[in-house]
Structure 1
């Protein structure tokens, strides 16, 4: 992976922070911490009503990245069309793997989680923890699809939903 220069991220850019999904850089500020002056990205996650401050020199190390390209979004949607791949491992181990994929910030990995946990209406009910992971992955996916496609979140949800419905048909 190439090292990004901090200057590649600017105020008003949308970025993906692995543990929280899509956020917007509001500003770059300096703050004194323990006698050191740190330059920080101030990132707003409006949907979660949360602000995160990330040292500019650590942004890439923690996995912060620019939005995916439209090409990657297309690949993620194509991943949704695929057949679910559910390992025969115990649920706790699979849940852990799904959680890691969601928090990786990798759009294709998140799409795999959505694909694997999606249930058509005629399939068995999801457990509570399965539904929680599915909804977390679906939200991350639709937020990034919305940001990349320039549509609102409802439009992105329809787009993703249409792909999942078509697969079930």
Structure 2
């Protein structure tokens, strides 16, 4: 294992874990599992009241990453402004694609889901599953925007909302 990979993440860093979004590394601990010593990142997802232990040598392989740069955040905002791209595929197929994008941990892909599933007041209603996917994507996007800009989720939600509303005008 290369030293640089291990030092990429440190305690107190905010990170993005593909399947769960933004978390914070609380510590690095050693545990013995099946007779082997394992070094683990202890990651807290405060909003979900969840703690995850990830082997330090597997973190990058599973897609754990640093928070996006401000540049990526602005690209995500630009993505939100775009026109919704809705394929004519069956909903089950599209839902699967949206879910994969949300769990990819890729902020631009998540922004695409928010863009494609966003509804204005005058548009048809969303189905329950559309709403669930939309809210999951919106939450991931908002949390990362908040973490990058210093942690105010209310301000981040307002920022995302304004971009979505400006698109409608």
TM-score computed with the length of structure 1 as normaliser: 0.97
Q: Whole-Å Cα distance in 1 between the matches of residues 166 and 121 of structure 2? A: 13
Q: Whole-Å Cα distance in 1 between the matches of residues 39 and 17 of structure 2? A: 17
Q: Whole-Å Cα distance in 2 between the matches of residues 94 and 25 of structure 1? A: 33
How many pairs are equivalent? 167
| Aligned match of 1:7 | 7
Farther off after superposition, 145-154 or 81-90 = 145-154
| Aligned match of 2:51 | 51
| TM-aligned CA deviation for residue 122 of structure 1 | 0.4
| TM-aligned CA deviation for residue 15 of structure 1 | 0.3
Q: Note the residue ranges of structure 2 that are not aligned, 5 or more in a row.
A: none
Matches within 5 A, 1:81-92: 81-92=81-92
- Superposed CA RMSD in Å reads 1.0
Q: Note the residue ranges of structure 1 that are not aligned, 5 or more in a row.
A: none
| Aligned match of 2:138 | 138
Matches within 5 A, 1:120-159: 120-159=120-159
| TM-aligned CA deviation for residue 89 of structure 1 | 0.2
Q: Whole-Å Cα distance in 1 between the matches of residues 145 and 78 of structure 2? A: 13
| TM-aligned CA deviation for residue 149 of structure 1 | 1.1
| TM-aligned CA deviation for residue 6 of structure 1 | 1.2
TM-score computed with the length of structure 2 as normaliser: 0.97
User: CA offsets, 1:90-137, max 9 Å, x none?
Assistant: 000000000000000000000000000000010000000000000000
| TM-aligned CA deviation for residue 27 of structure 1 | 0.2
The DSSP-based 3-state class of the residue aligned with 2:126 is coil
